[in-house]
Structure 1
Amino acid sequence: MQIGQYLTLEEFCTCTQTYQKYADQIAPYPENLEETIPALEALCQHILDPVIAHFGRERFQLTYGFCSKDLKRFLAQKDPKTGVKNGRVDPSRDQHMAHEKNRNGKYYCSRLGAACDFRIVGLESGVDSLSDSTDRLVEWILEQRLPFDSLYYYGGNRPIHISYAPQPRQNIWTFTDGGVPTRKGLEKIGMPRKDAETDQKFGV
């Protein structure tokens, strides 16, 4: 099933390393199809389709798309061999679960919308192409005024997290060494820091 010009629902639901590792134990697809599928389609239409059209399908690498209930459970667990947690999951804020609901009929994320993490492979920027490639991607997104809701910038050549919601907030976050969201350091990617209100919210 296509959810955008370039991406399928299967790719969006099965791209994570955690799913690949535990595929036989994870049901990766949405349950609330009536609401979640349109949210994923909107993310593609407003954010991912323009990105892929510009940078090319062969350079686009999706690293984390939709998070099902099963995937959420496995991401929160530790690998039995290494003792390392499979991944990070914050369903109440990160929008990876889109419009899925818990057993009480409440949305996991009240922001609704949908989110994904991706990188553009081989993106060069100036002399230091490895460390600056993600910076260039974010700069392009801002230049094009894509209507994102939240954008998480992890720095260097790492994937970015981006979401779309019906009322996009255009919030950009960087992260402290301890993994706490903050607006500090936004000047590096050409985005002035608005205020300290959100830092206080997260205890930075």
Structure 2
Amino acid sequence: MAPDIDQHAAMELNSRNNHICKRDGAACDILVEGYEHQMHLVAKFICKELQFDRLYFYGKCRPLHVSVGPEESKYALIRMPNTRGVRVNSKSATDDATIRLFEHL
């Protein structure tokens, strides 16, 4: 959707030898075996215990998007379906406040 900020591109270069993603770093989407229906617990653990750049939460039964990068912004965003089923931005936080995002899900 937005290659210039999509860390899934990692450090890949385009045809002009420039980084595809200006954020650098790398991203992956994860679903942890045994927690397939409790990904909010995985998100909470990551926010509490690990350094990361961005974490996007799409629901308890959905993979998490987690990235690392030089900014280490420790930004978490919850994206949930609206009444029409379209995912929209909900709550977000940075640093230690990210843990509270997942306490009551």
TM-score category (smaller protein) = 0.7 to 0.9
Q: Identify the structure with bigger relative contact order (alpha carbons < 8 Å, sequence gap 6+).
A: 2
Distance in 1, Cα, partners of 2:92 & 2:23: 25
> Displacement of 1:167 after TM fit?
2.4
Residue segments in structure 1 that go unaligned for 5+ positions in a row = 1-88, 124-128, 191-204
Deviation at 1:169, TM superposition (A): 0.6
Is residue 59–residue 80 contact of structure 2 (8 Å, CA) maintained in 1?
Answer: no
Gaps of 5+ in 2: 94-99
For the pair 1:158 / 2:65, whether they are aligned, the reply is no
Instruction: Determine if contact 1:117/1:159 at 8 Å carries over to the other structure.
Output: yes
TM-score with structure 2 setting the length: 0.75
Normalising by structure 1, report the TM-score.
0.41
Backbone CA RMSD of aligned residues: 2.4
Whether the 8 Å CA contact 1:150–1:169 is kept in 2: the answer is yes
- Are 1:179 and 2:92 counterparts? no
Whether the 8 Å CA contact 1:134–1:156 is kept in 2: the answer is yes
Q: Deviations over 1:6-30 (max 9, x none)?
A: xxxxxxxxxxxxxxxxxxxxxxxxx
Question: Post-superposition shift, 1:104?
Answer: 1.8
Give the corresponding residue for 1:97: 9
Query: What amino acid is aligned across from residue 138 of structure 1 in structure 2?
Result: A
Residue 141, structure 1, aligned to residue 46, structure 2: yes
Q: Which whole-Å CA distance do the structure 2 matches of 1:99 and 1:185 have between them?
A: 26
4+ residue runs of structure 1 moved beyond 4 angstroms? 185-188
- 3-state SS of the aligned residue for 2:9? coil
Percent identical residues: 32
Higher strand share: 2
For residues 25 and 60 of structure 2, the distance between their equivalents in structure 1, rounded to whole angstroms, comes to 27
Name the amino acid aligned to 1:117. Answer: D
Between Structure 1 and Structure 2, whose CA radius of gyration is higher? 1
- Separation in structure 2 between the aligned mates of residue 105 and residue 170 of structure 1, nearest angstrom: 29
Mapping for residues 4-43 of structure 1, pairs under 5 Å: none
Q: Shift of residue 94 of structure 1?
A: 2.2
Rounded to whole Å, the distance in 1 between the matches of 2:48 and 2:61 is: 19
Change in Cα spacing, 1:185 to 1:168, as seen in structure 2 (3 Å) is closer
